[in-house]
Amino acid sequence: MTPTTERHAGESYLGGERTLRSWLTTRDHKRIGLMFLIATSLFLFVGGLFALLLRLELLAPRETLMGPMTYNRMFTAHGVVMVWLFMIPAIPSGFGNFLLPLMIGANDVAFPRLNLASFYIYVAGAVVALFGLFMGGADTGWTFYVPYSAQTATAVVPVLIGVFILGWSSIVTGVNFIATVHTMRAKGLQWMQMPLFVWAIYGTSVIQVLATPVLGLVLLLIGMEHLFDWGIFDPRRGGDPVIFQHLFWFYSHPAVYIMVLPAMGVISEVVCAFSRKNPLSYQAIVIATVGITFFGFLAWGHHMFTAGMSTFAAGSFGILSMVVAIFSAIKVFTWTGTLYQGSISLKAPLLYVLAFLFLFVFGGMTGVAVATMSLDVHWHDTYFVVAHFHFIMVGGTLTAFLAAVHYWFPKVTGRNYPETWGVAMAVLVFIGFNVTFVPQFLLGNLGMPRRYYDYPESMQWLHVISTGGSWLLGIALLTTVLYLAWSLRHGAVATDNPWHSAGFEWRTASPPPPYNFPGSPALHRGAYDYTGQEPPEGPAALP
């Protein structure tokens, strides 16, 4: 046993060994989860900074702040950092790691060493990718379309290798979580009693394990093409650039669900906890989670309607995309219905859920709109699509991430955040987000293509509004970090269950002790059972 796992009564996972070494060699899923949360949040800020600079350049047509080369590199960096360093790992590897074992009454994940390895693989991938982004600066966009990516003189290969390595972290964590859910559930905890966040993470893990290898393969192929000029995708030698697009989206469309499913898991937890209600239909959410996991694999072609695919193929991908949307709609319906006859406490996490509901419905329905083939012909590769996926990624995932940060802040740190600030910034995030991205839908309608650093004058004022919005969003997020950092030291010390949540993760101390539950966890009361009187403060019914 390493020193960190020594147990002292009443001591939290944060206490005990406090040396850097004990953190870097820890096998405690909570410490690993926290390290992931810190690292991914850091990259959220790096990626966000890029976004602010890009928006600044777009304040006026022609060159204002940077030339086209810098701009092209920067939107590539923004995409790569946000997708692979923040969105994909943030909720699964961060909150998933921290909460999964707590939510199934386990003392750790199935393979704690592998879990730590996953963190180091992530760090290694991040270092290599960032090295590439800063030294040579790939300018291909995060989509790496051939033949451009095979021809560009910029440093594509280090970025490809970095992302390749990051993929391994994703796979390893996925395998670990699947094994954990199958083998580590507390005695008597049935599948259909698991918290919905666990279901979400489980579905996510399946996608990570099945889809990421395809990404690895295709990244290797472009690397080869770029380095050795093999002609795999080069039409001059019988290759086909469109095959690349199929392979790429075969991963990258399901990857959208790697980013969104965990967010949905968060929403399910927060809605129930703050309305003190069971979900309107637990089964419906489970069915929808499984449905998204499966059908998410079959919709990739909707990214290629204009790449010369047959009308029949386009139609098939269109229908399949709509089926996926239906599963999301089931969830939205269920969350909204869950509020009915609840005892609702409007705290920052629930405010974020409200924002999520509105933005996610709008983002999701515009998703159905772009899956409608003839409409997509106009919108494809314009700001409409940019706005659509930012509604899902920022309006959906980032909002859920913030809900999670606030909801589980006392669980992770043992302190409360200042509620007034939390509420104020949630409102500002919502406003800033809409001011940034609603104009982008309109820009897309006007015909503004994406990845343009220059544009016709007639489009300017919509860009100005959007840039203004991005600053609001930036200020709101920065303020959030500041008050959260402040709370780490000065926040009021939290009770074990400040929200009176029935969630399993709250049935132990906050922050939890190294092995999570002193003795066997008490999971008799369901994770969404609010029908009884609240027991007095403290961990519920310890043996």
Partner 1 sequence: MIPASADLMRDVLFLPEAASRQARDIDALHFWVISATMLGALAVGLTALVFLVKYRRMGDRPRPTRFIALPVKYELAMAGLLLGLFLAWWFVGYRQMIALQRAPEGALEIYVTGKQWMWKFASADGPDTVGVLVVPAARPVRLLITARDVVHSFFVPALRVKQDAIPGRYTSLSFTIDRPGSFPVYCAEYCGLSHSRMWATLVALPPEEYQRWLEGAVPPAVGEAGGNADIAGGRLGEREAISIAQRGEQQAARYGCLACHTVDGQPHIGPTWRGLFGSERVLVTGQRLVADAAYLTQSMMRPMEDLVAGYPPVMPTYQGQMEPADVAAIVEYIKSLRHDAGRAP
Residues 248-277 that bind Cu ion (CB under 5 A): 253
Q: How far is the CB of 165 from Cu ion (least distance, A)?
A: 24
Find where tokens 């966040």 sit: 197
Site pattern 425..444 for partner 1 (x: CB under 8 A): -----------------xx-
- Of the candidates 131, 116, 52, the residue with the CA atom closest to the CA atom of residue 85: 131
Q: Which of these ranges, 65-73, 119-127, 180-188, 246-254, lies near Cu ion under the rule CB under 5 A?
A: 246-254
C-alpha to C-alpha distance for 443 and 384, rounded to whole angstroms? 7
Q: How far is the CB of 100 from Cu ion (least distance, A)?
A: 27
C-alpha to C-alpha distance for 194 and 104, rounded to whole angstroms? 7
Query: Around 298, how many Cα atoms within 13 Å sit in the side-chain half-sphere?
Result: 17
Q: Are 112 and 180 in contact (CB under 8 A)?
A: no
Using CB under 8 A as the binding rule, whether residue 445 contacts partner 1 is answered as: yes
Q: How far is the CB of 399 from partner 1 (least distance, A)?
A: 13
Q: How far is the CB of 254 from Cu ion (least distance, A)?
A: 8
Q: What is the DSSP letter of 458?
A: G
Exactly one of 2, 19, 64, 306 binds partner 1 (CB under 8 A); that residue is 306
The DSSP-derived string for 230-242 is --SS-GGGT--HH
Q: How far is the CB of 440 from partner 1 (least distance, A)?
A: 11
Q: Which of these ranges, 33-41, 365-373, 419-427, 483-491, lies near partner 1 under the rule CB under 8 A?
A: 365-373
Tokens linked to 22: 């004990």
C-alpha to C-alpha distance for 389 and 393, rounded to whole angstroms? 6
Binding residues for Cu ion, how many (CB under 5 A)? Answer: 1
Q: How far is the CB of 449 from Cu ion (least distance, A)?
A: 8
Q: Are 147 and 164 in contact (CB under 8 A)?
A: no
Q: Are 379 and 444 in contact (CB under 8 A)?
A: yes
Q: How far is the CB of 165 from partner 1 (least distance, A)?
A: 25
Site pattern 476..505 for partner 1 (x: CB under 8 A): ------------------------x-----
Using CB under 8 A as the binding rule, whether residue 326 contacts partner 1 is answered as: yes
Cα distances (angstroms) measured from residue 119 to each of 36, 113, 127, 207, 337: 7, 10, 12, 19, 38
Q: Which of these ranges, 17-25, 411-419, 454-462, 535-543, lies near partner 1 under the rule CB under 8 A?
A: 454-462
Residue 283 binding target from Cu ion, partner 1, none, CB below 5 to 8 Å by type: partner 1
Site pattern 263..282 for partner 1 (x: CB under 8 A): ------------xxxx-xxx
Q: Which of these ranges, 20-28, 89-97, 338-346, 505-513, lies near partner 1 under the rule CB under 8 A?
A: 338-346
Q: Which of these ranges, 138-146, 155-163, 247-255, 458-466, lies near Cu ion under the rule CB under 5 A?
A: 247-255
Pick 128 or 443: Cβ nearer partner 1: 443
Q: How far is the CB of 74 from Cu ion (least distance, A)?
A: 17
- Of the candidates 343, 303, 336, 341, the residue with the CA atom closest to the CA atom of residue 320: 303
Exactly one of 19, 345, 420, 520 binds partner 1 (CB under 8 A); that residue is 345
Exactly one of 10, 187, 192, 308 binds partner 1 (CB under 8 A); that residue is 308
Q: Are 393 and 261 in contact (CB under 8 A)?
A: no
Residue 151 binding target from partner 1, Cu ion, none, CB below 5 to 8 Å by type: partner 1
- Cα torsion through 283, 329, 380, 301, rounded to 10: 30
C-alpha to C-alpha distance for 459 and 61, rounded to whole angstroms? 9
Q: Kindly identify the residues of this chain, within the stretch 60-119, that bind Cu ion according to CB under 5 A.
A: none
Tokens linked to 255: 């990857």
Find where tokens 């969404």 sit: 528
Using CB under 5 A as the binding rule, whether residue 388 contacts Cu ion is answered as: no
- 10 Å Cβ neighbour count for 511? 21
Count of residues for the chain? 543
- Of the candidates 402, 374, 250, 378, the residue with the CA atom closest to the CA atom of residue 315: 374
Q: Kindly identify the residues of this chain, within the stretch 54-73, that bind partner 1 according to CB under 8 A.
A: 68-69, 72
Pick 324 or 473: Cβ nearer partner 1: 324
Using CB under 8 A as the binding rule, whether residue 449 contacts partner 1 is answered as: yes
Give strand pairing partners of 449: 382
Q: Kindly identify the residues of this chain, within the stretch 168-207, that bind partner 1 according to CB under 8 A.
A: none
Give me the residues that bind Cu ion (CB under 5 A), please: 253
